[in-house]
Amino acid sequence: MDNGPYNIDAGEIQTALARLSKLEQTKSAFISIAAHELKTPLTLVRGYAAILGERLHGRPDADELAGLVAGILRGAQRLGEIIDDMIDVASIEAQSLELNLEPLSLETLVDLAVKEALAGAPERQVRILVGDLSSMPHIIGDAQRLHQALVKIISNGIKYTPDGGRIDISGRLLYVDGAQSDVLVELAVADTGIGIPQEELEWIFEKFYRVGDITLHSTSKSRFKGAGPGLGLTIARGIIEAHGGIIWAESPGYDETCCPGSTFHIILPLQQGSSPARTRYLVQSGLLRTSGE
């Protein structure tokens, strides 16, 4: 019997899947090689620009030239950040992210991440309100990596929220029903920004993925809707999952006029060795309770 286009045998599907997986590996290897190859010439640009800056002293046009050198160094700095993000994505995909685990205060982590995100967008008028996290227990994690993940999420909140808007960060404790010692912490980062289309809430965590027509975006790290390479959320998810946690986004939809907002939820288990699959199962099965329940 001829099934037309549906007449595909299992062997063909296997071959196609193997090809897809090979392509994905090639893509990851490309990102890693490209990033490492870009690092060397970038070091040269930084080095020569710094020498140029030092040689300006005493010249009549020193101030004007110093401005140009500062521009080169700013560009090189941003390029360096993008290359570092590419290297991080490659090591997340190769599952080779190394964590230096230690007990961490969630309150301090959030505090430092808010400060850095705000410092990265000095021209933006978005208020950040942090709820009381003083009674949250310490978590075991990598301070630098969790800081990096939080900065990426909060910076997105600032970037995709118009001036005058706000970001609310709150935290709560979750217990596994019937096992009071099995504890997880939840952080929610809610903005009053442009929102995310429902059908793209998972896609935004894919590398290089950006919502909407990317040719219409201006490139900027902090400007309203300024597009970046689309690596921030891939890195944030990789870091959270390396800690056994999960992250997902919720939003009523995308609307630049009404600004329905987006909320990013992060759940981190306190129990060491817990997997993202277990955390996801606990969330989806409705087994988690808050302290008041």
- For position 262 contacting ligand ATP by CB under 6 A, the verdict is yes
Pick the piece of the chain touching ligand ATP (CB under 6 A) from 11-19, 139-147, 178-186, 206-214: 206-214
- For position 232 contacting Mg ion by CB under 5 A, the verdict is yes
186 interacts with, out of Mg ion, ligand ATP, none, CB within 5 to 8 A per kind: none
**Tokens coding 46:** 């930084």
- Whether the CB-CB separation of 28 and 90 falls below 8 Å is answered with yes
Side chain identity at 282, as an amino acid letter?
L
Q: How many residues comprise the chain? A: 293
Helix (H) / strand (E) element for 43: namely helix 10-54
Cα 121 versus chain centre, distance:
16
- For position 161 contacting Mg ion by CB under 5 A, the verdict is no
SS3 23: helix
Output b/e per residue, 120-158; b: 16+ Cβ within 10 A.
bbeebebebebeebeebeebbbbbebbbbbbbbbbbbbb
**Tokens coding 245:** 């946690």
Q: Which one, 39 or 210, has the nearer CB to ligand ATP? A: 210
- For position 194 contacting ligand ATP by CB under 6 A, the verdict is yes
157 interacts with, out of Mg ion, ligand ATP, none, CB within 5 to 8 A per kind: ligand ATP
- For position 193 contacting ligand ATP by CB under 6 A, the verdict is yes
- For position 227 contacting ligand ATP by CB under 6 A, the verdict is yes
262 interacts with, out of Mg ion, ligand ATP, none, CB within 5 to 8 A per kind: ligand ATP
- Whether the CB-CB separation of 32 and 90 falls below 8 Å is answered with yes
CB closest to ligand ATP, residue no: 228
- For position 156 contacting ligand ATP by CB under 6 A, the verdict is yes
Q: Determine the size of the site formed for ligand ATP (CB under 6 A).
A: 22
Residue (of 253, 229, 225) closest to 160 by Cα position = 225
CA distance linking residue 249 with residue 244, whole number of Å? 17
- Considering only residues 92, 149, 150, 233, which one is a binding residue for ligand ATP as defined by CB under 6 A? 233
Residue 127, beta-bridge partner list = 166
Chain positions contacting Mg ion, by CB under 5 A: 156, 232
Binding site for ligand ATP (CB under 6 A): 85, 152, 156-157, 160, 191, 193-194, 196, 204, 209-211, 227-234, 262
